[in-house]
Structure 1
Amino acid sequence: MTPAAIVSKLWNFCNVLRDDGMSYGDYVEQLTYLLFLKMADERTKPPYSQPSTVPGAYSWPTLVKKDGDELFDHYRHTLENLGNEKGLLGLIFSKSQNKFQDPAKLRRLIVDLIDKENWSVMSADVKGDAYEGLLEKNAQDTKSGAGQYFTPRPLIQAIVDVIAPKPGENICDPACGTGGFLLAAHDSLIKNHPHMTKVELKALKEGTFKGWELVQATARLCAMNLMLHGISGLESDLPLTVADSLAADPGERFDIILTNPPFGKKSSTTIVAEDGKIARETETIERDDFWATTSNKQLNFMQHVKTLLKQNGRAAVVVPDNVLFEGGAGETIRRKLLHDCDVHTLLRLPTGLFYAQGVKANVLFFERKPASETPWTRRLWIYDLRTNVHFTLKTNPLKRSDLDEFVQLYAKPRTSTWSAENPAGRWRGYDYADLVARDKASLDIFWLKDDSLEDSDNLPAPGILAAEIVEDLQAALEQFRLIAEDLGEEIVEEG
């Protein structure tokens, strides 16, 4: 069965459950619990014959044998008890709840859909791609907010292609969402290094990857995604920590960091003051390893990534536009980053890529270097994939081929495609002296003419134009939101 066929089969059943009030996110979560139990049972049988990680009283066969209210009660108790376990079981089932309204529909999902497939014998590509398909469909449901944890896969693939991980390197995502960067790096290593030794393959499965995710429900999806793709397994601990990665320096250092940190400043964190009263968390983080103290989460992630890198380690970080031009702490951090690291590449992304609306983003590539009196950044190369480029999530989505030119130009030696004779060239280098001489050392640099401003005949389609206006307005609102929160105003969400 192909990934598309499995996704279609599982997703069609979701539409039945939607009539009972179950959201897309709830469905994917319930599916995660049941898939885990089914695969754990499969691993106890030949050729695996492994002891089960699931207590016998809550194993898959106990669910298959029951029906009606008895099944409903047993499923609820199963989730509650497994959520109290430690390790992998606790990670998957923590705070889990039965979201089904109808016992007959729960039984149909168990018996007719999940039990009829042998998930363990499916290749990691098939079941992993199927689960990724479900996560992407969930991200498309903009009301759920799940899109903020889902980075477009063609963009991830291009980033991993230019970073080019090698066997023996360890790879981290300190804000891993559903695990897209870790999975793409894993696939790249398998594809481009088919003759890895047994030692390298063992390290690939057990010691190469590390992720942090703040939101428990998202971490659960990430854990299942990693397992289905063959990164670690049911019998071993996953390389995933459910925590705020910004809270402290973990002490670990990595060869490669690939990440799309959360935009905005929303947090579920609360703090208890010395007098025992609950205080509002301002999210101002003070760490000795940071260059500047700020409540801007994206600027803190930039500093955190710098800390996590080994000497000569390389990073690719998705950042919103404000990280490129914001003053105060932003200017301090940019100047220090340009001096202490080799900030060599900036990819300006078009609008219409992200399910989280109002996002104007870029990818910043840099390497950490040893202490030096002279700056490590010699020249920043910028690829402008934004000006006169229009994507939408449904009618004209980004494809990996749209990034082919960037991937080719990223390789060294580098030559500018922009010149006086070719003013439409999208690839251009700027020397360090030019960068630090700019107001606030702003990296928000563009040189291409916007065709729509020059000639009304070149305006994009009305739908695209309307979507871009909406994104511009939402991006502006997000900036005002950050200013209001910095001034201590509580923002009340409607709906």
Structure 2
Amino acid sequence: MLTGKIRGQIDQVWEMFWTGGVANPISVIEQISYLLFIRRLDELQRTAERRSQATGLPLKDPTFGPDEQTLRWNNFKDKDPDVMLDIVQNKVFPKIKTLQAEGSFAEHMKDAIFMIPSAKLLDQVVQLLSAIDMNDKDTKGDLYEYLLSKLQQSGVNGQFRTPRNIIGMMVELMQPKPGDTICDPSSGTCGFLMAAVEYVETHHSKEINQPVNRVRFNNDMFTGYDFDKHMLRIGAMNMLLHGIENPAVHYRDSLQDQGDDNISEAFNLILANPPFKGSVDFDIVAPDLLRALGKSPVTKKPKPTFKIELDEDGNEIQVEVKKKKPTEKSELLFLALILRMLKVGGRAAVIVPDGVLFGSTKSHKAIRQKIVEGQKLEAVISLPSGVFKPYAGVSTAILIFTKTNSGGTDNVWFYDMQADGYSLDDKRTQLCKEGETPTHKQSNISDIISRYQSLTDNGRVNPDGPEYSRKRTEQSFMVPVADIESNDFDLSLNRYKEVVYEEIQYDSPKEILTRIKALQNKMAAGVKELEGLL
């Protein structure tokens, strides 16, 4: 846990960045990430040097050569601030941009920009980071999480960050295991991957600490893709600080056609909150994703058409008519992508906007039908519309399904989530005090987890569980697949939830009029009494 003192120092550093002209919170986190990486390089070399001294073997491929010792963290951190700025800006930073072989974070450093505006600020950040025990994974992880929490408080930039409590709930529902290969195709800050890391370490520590499993854990058990290089650097550093030695976080436009390099049947667990409210041109999308939505890919470029216009001199000229390119919604394409990326038997928990659940276009119906009829849809959890505030009030839901390619949907579990532990306004204030267990009215998360887990018994469907006997008037209930098919594969909770209205008995109009007359008589008497006092 971070102390109040360290939190205060981070807040002070944050404000100094802002007053120094670095107002974008992503840029602030990036700059701190660069310094964390520089410190890590020094620590790795110090470990290698100690090993070399103990074994008598020569130091192999050191990051800092004999003539570069001044560039190491422990050698410049106590220098005069102006000297430190010169060393970091003009010597260390150019060097780390060339270290492409030093792991995932270094892979994304090629186009990084040093933006710390003053020697004073650099010195303050360096001293703050030097005071953190980097051997304590929890502390350095908490430090970065605190930084990332500021993304959520920063308006539009918060779109990159799914609320941590929702991420934690989804991971608890999916229960990742040491044998899983876990992916987020739109990883952002790698929040889903980090929650999966923490879950596996907590519940399967003995298995993970076996040498063979540990190598896999540190290298290719967790994979993230994103096409925003800022997010890649932040996500890779987030994983590094949480103990993943070589995070597999890669640059990739997941929806774009990569030909033979398209990823297919590679993962058995996908956790994601893909970007939505966007449209992607047909001509860059992988054709199989479009076909999954019932669309025909653009196979050839249409012939241009022209119209006649007058130029500035009044002469007739031909002008090409720009035709609007066909597009498809990103949230639908990501669902098709996730189905392709999953191995048969693989599972997914994905956040989608409500429009996916009931949209009437050909693409909406096609992807719903593909999930319900072709795979095994297990659950639809409707989230409160305020979960993503202050930057979005859109209603969303979590889809949980297993890829089978042979159907298997029999009953779908619906849950009407009404509270997540925070207020559903723009402030998103925590509803219970730190350390207290929230009531059901304050948070439905523990109830969702326990009810979902009751659906199976030792991995098998549990038809005798309580969820199968609940009525559709309750907060959760089961819907047979036949009902969903007959409703055009509509997956919106309101389509199936039944509302019981309480009958209210009103007085007769005659009785109401009698009461009105009595009130009028009282008013008239009161007015007459006032007149008598004048």
Q: What's the TM-score once normalised by structure 2's chain length?
A: 0.72
**C-alpha distance in structure 1 between counterparts of 2:64 and 2:236, whole Å:** 16
Q: Contact 2:470/2:478 (CA < 8 Å) preserved in 1? A: no
Residues 206 and 330 (structure 1 numbering): CA distance in 2 closer, same or farther, change over 3 Å?
same
Match of 2:57 in 1: none
| 1:207-356 aligned within 5 A | 207-231=220-244, 233=245, 237-247=246-256, 248=258, 249-251=262-264, 253-265=266-278, 285-288=285-288, 290-292=291-293, 293=295, 295-326=328-359, 327-355=361-389, 356=391
Within the candidate set 466, 480, 489, 1:431 is matched to 480
Q: Deviations over 1:18-48 (max 9, x none)?
A: 2222223322111111111112212222587
**C-alpha distance in structure 2 between counterparts of 1:12 and 1:85, whole Å:** 31
**C-alpha distance in structure 2 between counterparts of 1:398 and 1:448, whole Å:** 29
Query: Which is further off, 88-97 or 161-170?
Result: 88-97
The AA in structure 2 aligned to 1:311 is V
**C-alpha distance in structure 1 between counterparts of 2:491 and 2:88, whole Å:** 54
Residues 240 and 49 (structure 1 numbering): CA distance in 2 closer, same or farther, change over 3 Å?
farther
Match of 2:491 in 1: 443
Q: Which has the higher contact order (CA 8 A, sep 6+)?
A: 1
**C-alpha distance in structure 1 between counterparts of 2:3 and 2:196, whole Å:** 20
Q: Contact 1:4/1:130 (CA < 8 Å) preserved in 2? A: no
Q: Contact 2:184/2:225 (CA < 8 Å) preserved in 1? A: yes
Match of 1:178 in 2: 189
Match of 1:415 in 2: 466
Shift of 1:407: 0.6
Within the candidate set 111, 125, 128, 1:113 is matched to 128
Q: Deviations over 1:380-431 (max 9, x none)?
A: 11101149996246353488853111111112234338856x83x1111111
Match of 1:475 in 2: none
Stretches of structure 2 lacking an aligned partner (at least 5 in a row): 52-60, 296-326, 433-437, 456-461, 505-534
Within the candidate set 435, 446, 462, 1:404 is matched to 446
RMSD between superposed Cα atoms in Å? 3.0
Question: Is residue 101 of structure 2 the alignment partner of residue 100 of structure 1?
Answer: no
Residues 418 and 4 (structure 1 numbering): CA distance in 2 closer, same or farther, change over 3 Å?
farther
Q: What's the TM-score once normalised by structure 1's chain length?
A: 0.78
Q: Deviations over 1:231-287 (max 9, x none)?
A: 1x2xxx4211111112242245111111111122278xxxxxxxxxxxxx5676242
Secondary structure of the corresponding residue to residue 357 of structure 1: coil
Shift of 1:175: 0.8
Shift of 1:357: 1.2
**C-alpha distance in structure 2 between counterparts of 1:251 and 1:167, whole Å:** 21
Within the candidate set 115, 136, 161, 2:172 is matched to 161
**C-alpha distance in structure 2 between counterparts of 1:402 and 1:265, whole Å:** 30
Structure number with bigger Rg = 2
Residues 239 and 150 (structure 1 numbering): CA distance in 2 closer, same or farther, change over 3 Å?
same
Residues 109 and 52 (structure 1 numbering): CA distance in 2 closer, same or farther, change over 3 Å?
farther
Match of 2:392 in 1: 357
**C-alpha distance in structure 2 between counterparts of 1:321 and 1:153, whole Å:** 21
The AA in structure 1 aligned to 2:97 is G
Secondary structure of the corresponding residue to residue 37 of structure 1: helix
Shift of 1:448: 5.8
Match of 2:324 in 1: none
| 1:465-476 aligned within 5 A | none
**C-alpha distance in structure 2 between counterparts of 1:211 and 1:364, whole Å:** 20
Q: Deviations over 1:172-202 (max 9, x none)?
A: 1111111111111111111112321332233
**C-alpha distance in structure 2 between counterparts of 1:218 and 1:201, whole Å:** 26
Q: Contact 1:353/1:397 (CA < 8 Å) preserved in 2? A: no
Q: Contact 1:154/1:398 (CA < 8 Å) preserved in 2? A: no
Secondary structure of the corresponding residue to residue 401 of structure 2: strand
Number of aligned residue pairs: give it. Answer: 424
Match of 1:36 in 2: 37
Q: Contact 2:279/2:328 (CA < 8 Å) preserved in 1? A: no
The AA in structure 2 aligned to 1:9 is Q
Match of 1:368 in 2: 403
Secondary structure of the corresponding residue to residue 42 of structure 1: helix
Secondary structure of the corresponding residue to residue 493 of structure 2: coil
Residues 387 and 431 (structure 1 numbering): CA distance in 2 closer, same or farther, change over 3 Å?
farther
Residues 402 and 340 (structure 1 numbering): CA distance in 2 closer, same or farther, change over 3 Å?
same
**C-alpha distance in structure 2 between counterparts of 1:346 and 1:410, whole Å:** 11
**C-alpha distance in structure 1 between counterparts of 2:500 and 2:192, whole Å:** 32
Identical counterparts, % of pairs? 27
The AA in structure 2 aligned to 1:328 is K
Q: Contact 1:391/1:397 (CA < 8 Å) preserved in 2? A: no
Q: Contact 1:171/1:256 (CA < 8 Å) preserved in 2? A: yes
Q: Contact 1:341/1:368 (CA < 8 Å) preserved in 2? A: yes
**C-alpha distance in structure 2 between counterparts of 1:225 and 1:171, whole Å:** 16
The AA in structure 2 aligned to 1:369 is T
**C-alpha distance in structure 2 between counterparts of 1:450 and 1:9, whole Å:** 54
**C-alpha distance in structure 1 between counterparts of 2:431 and 2:247, whole Å:** 31
**C-alpha distance in structure 2 between counterparts of 1:146 and 1:65, whole Å:** 34
**C-alpha distance in structure 1 between counterparts of 2:36 and 2:120, whole Å:** 18
Residues 3 and 254 (structure 1 numbering): CA distance in 2 closer, same or farther, change over 3 Å?
farther
Secondary structure of the corresponding residue to residue 22 of structure 1: coil
**C-alpha distance in structure 1 between counterparts of 2:392 and 2:78, whole Å:** 45
Residues 282 and 288 (structure 1 numbering): CA distance in 2 closer, same or farther, change over 3 Å?
closer
**C-alpha distance in structure 2 between counterparts of 1:135 and 1:106, whole Å:** 20
Secondary structure of the corresponding residue to residue 391 of structure 1: coil
